[in-house]
Structure 1
């Protein structure tokens, strides 16, 4: 675990990059959903209709994409609030990148149908966000 902390910079740019990667993750998973579901150019006219008829890996990848979009605002707000209240940047960066890594694992677990592991990873990713909010509250008191 110490190696992970050593890899994360203590600069603000590190947290911003984590926010960028987290924002691009749903898009990357949507590509996987489209490829695995046999998405064609003609499906672009009604992509949601296409996804309503997918099953298996494509449907799970689409669900992972949707969940990633649902949790993204909480993560972005948590990082920004922590920065606004001057939580130490190194802590923000570690929690931000930990969130990203956990979310990548979450999407992988969702796509490969590891439901219990997926749920554990979801809780851990939300714990990163809640910890950022908690630290902002502690600093502001």
Structure 2
């Protein structure tokens, strides 16, 4: 497994981690006591406030960012790009996503946007590496 492939696996799991953060408010509580409602999960998540609501938004954004990363890795592979370069860009993307999630949860909107752009740049670069 290449480092880029490992990064792909991590990127695929990041939204699930964000979901766990968002739902953590309801862990250990019964549904009638405000615990997570697996019967109506979207409605329950829509009622979140504060950092848990931002973690849920980070989950959605993580799913949205994933296709561009996957496509970039695919194109880089098709172009037989240097593996070290592909690995470096994949690590950069995952690092940006981790920082992005942390900044999203911490409500650092402007800095979060800069990190998002950097991560997108890493994905776009994957389309052009040789």
Using structure 2 for the length normalisation, give the TM-score: 0.90
Q: In the alignment, does 2:10 pair up with 1:21?
A: yes
Q: In the alignment, does 2:74 pair up with 1:74?
A: no
**How far does residue 84 in structure 1 lie from its aligned partner after superposition?**
1.1
Q: Residues 56-135 of structure 1: matches in 2 within 5 Å? A: 56-135=50-129
Runs of 4 or more consecutive aligned structure 1 residues displaced over 3 Å after TM superposition:
39-42
CA RMSD of aligned residues (A): 1.3
Report the Cα distance in structure 2 between the residues aligned to 1:47 and 1:107, rounded to whole angstroms.
21
Which runs of 5 or more structure 1 residues have no equivalent in the other structure? 1-11
Q: What is the DSSP-based 3-state SS (H/G/I as helix, E as strand, rest coil) of the residue aligned with 1:20?
A: helix
| Number of residue pairs aligned between Structure 1 and Structure 2 | 124
Using structure 1 for the length normalisation, give the TM-score: 0.84
**How far does residue 41 in structure 1 lie from its aligned partner after superposition?**
6.1
Give a deviation string over 1:84-120, Cα, whole Å, max 9, x none: 1111010000000110011000000000000011000
CA 1:45/1:80 → structure 2, altered by over 3 Å: closer, same or farther? same
Select the structure that is richer in helix.
1
Which runs of 5 or more structure 2 residues have no equivalent in the other structure? 32-36
Q: What is the DSSP-based 3-state SS (H/G/I as helix, E as strand, rest coil) of the residue aligned with 1:45?
A: coil
